[in-house]
Structure 1
Amino acid sequence: MSRRTVPAPPPGDAPPRPLRADAERNRRRIIAAAQQVFARRGLDVTLDDIAHHAGVGVGTIYRRFANREELIEAIFDTEIQRVIGIAEEALTHEDPWDGLVHFFTMSSQDFADDRGLREVLMVGTHGKDRVAAARERLSPAVGAVMERAQRDGSLRGDIEVTDFPLIQIMLGAATQLTHAVSPDLWQRYLTLILDSLRTSREAPTPLPHRALSQEEFDRATP
């Protein structure tokens, strides 16, 4: 009686082959270059721009990523998870207001440093399924931080979770406008915003950054 031959599994069922060392180096170089370009210029850049920054041909990018959206997905899923982690960390603060300030400050720093992250979260028109799912997880995390401070009575009760992205858009506009002359100026306006969100305080919070001089203002504005 002849032994039956078990057919080999179809190619689609085989585990993915690990990338060759040079291919993996190129992938890491592309990811690093894309992170830098997106952070500085936002998401409306081309794969040619990223290839030039990475020092590779655009064909090398297309061998790893079918289009720009796949590259955005590969980068910003992890970035959004970090912002969610900041919200979860804020919930561990004993004082709910301190937790809210921690969340606003740390996330605003991330958004100030990374224009692409700000756009992928606040505009919501880039990225695919993983990024969309991460965005959906962020909203309840932010809501939990805000609701905790409202229950404590320290955050005014008429603030909604949808106010958070609009506040970040305002801070982002100030950051983009003044980055060349005063990259940390957003901290001044975040402090003013947080003072307006608190239900009561003994005195205004000292501003952590001076205002622009007239000369700086003229340089920053068209």
Structure 2
Amino acid sequence: MTEQTLRKDAARNRERLIAAGRDLFARRGLDATLNDVAHHAGVGVGTAYRRFANKEELIEAIWRRQVDELEAILREALAAPDPWDGLVLYLERSLAAQAQDLGMAQMLAGRTWPDHYDRQRDRLAPLVNQVADRAREAGLLRRDVTGTDLIFLQIGLTSISGTVRDGTVPEGRSDTGQLYRRYLWIMLDGLRAPASGQSALPVPALSTPEMHTLLRPRAHG
């Protein structure tokens, strides 16, 4: 085989592993192993380890693409003429992606958090803040709501998707996978700036650094 053919085969196997890993992590979460991914991709385990030294390298490759996709959603939200429509667009698209991808939801909730994953997520935080700031400055979002509030509200809503995913589907209901959207719309009513007075929130918002710290798994021992 020529060197060019070997390079093409290597690139093709890498893409197969990324696609298989994304599919497997989406359905089973980040506990799936690199061996599992190799079998799912239809390649040998040795081939998998030649393309990725360990599972973390594969997760990072997938995570970079997911961050690109989330950044595109945020930039579309910021380009929306109406700041409230942009905020809703961001929440709907981001939550839809996480509802379909357990691995992504786990990453965004800080379930696995080496520093290089943290740096990728730092790309998103300023854009989320801008989405919130834009709606708040237009008088459409509560004055005391920040970008970090939007992140934690999403973590709460994705837990609904997890509960549905692990539960038994009630007879006659084919819409339980979309149940999180019901609570999103209830939440959106609470985020709107009201025409009259509103209750003061009992706990201050987190800063972005505080949010990142809190999302890191607690050390034990």
Q: TM-score range by the shorter chain?
A: 0.7 to 0.9
Contact 2:33 2:55 survives alignment (8 Å): yes
Structure 1 position 23 matched with structure 2 position 17: no
Task: Give the Å deviation of 1:104.
Answer: 0.7
Which of residues 158, 165, 168 in structure 2 aligns to 1:172? 158
Cα 1:96/1:144, change in 2 over 3 Å: same
* % identity of equivalent residues: 47
> Which runs of 5 or more residues in structure 2 are unaligned?
170-175, 196-221
Structure 1 position 137 matched with structure 2 position 123: yes
The SS at the match of 1:118 is helix
C-alpha RMSD over aligned residues: 2.2
Q: Which has the higher contact order (CA 8 A, sep 6+)?
A: 2
Q: Rg larger in 1 or in 2?
A: 1
Query: What is the number of residues matched between the two proteins?
Result: 186
Match of 1:109 in 2: 96
Match of 1:161 in 2: 147
Q: Choose between structure 1 and 2: higher helix proportion.
A: 2
Structure 1 position 193 matched with structure 2 position 187: yes
Task: Give the Å deviation of 1:55.
Answer: 2.1
Cα 1:23/1:152, change in 2 over 3 Å: same
The TM-score, its normalising length taken from structure 2, stands at 0.77
Which of residues 67, 77, 82 in structure 1 aligns to 2:69? 82
Contact 1:171 1:186 survives alignment (8 Å): yes
Residue by residue over 1:91-113, the C-alpha shift from the partner in whole angstroms, topping out at 9 and shown as x without a partner, is: 11111111111111111111111
The amino acid that maps onto 1:177 is T
> Which runs of 5 or more residues in structure 1 are unaligned?
1-15, 202-222
The amino acid that maps onto 1:122 is A
Give the distance between the partners of 2:161 and 2:50, measured in 1 at CA. 35
Contact 1:37 1:50 survives alignment (8 Å): yes
Match of 1:63 in 2: 50
The TM-score, its normalising length taken from structure 1, stands at 0.76
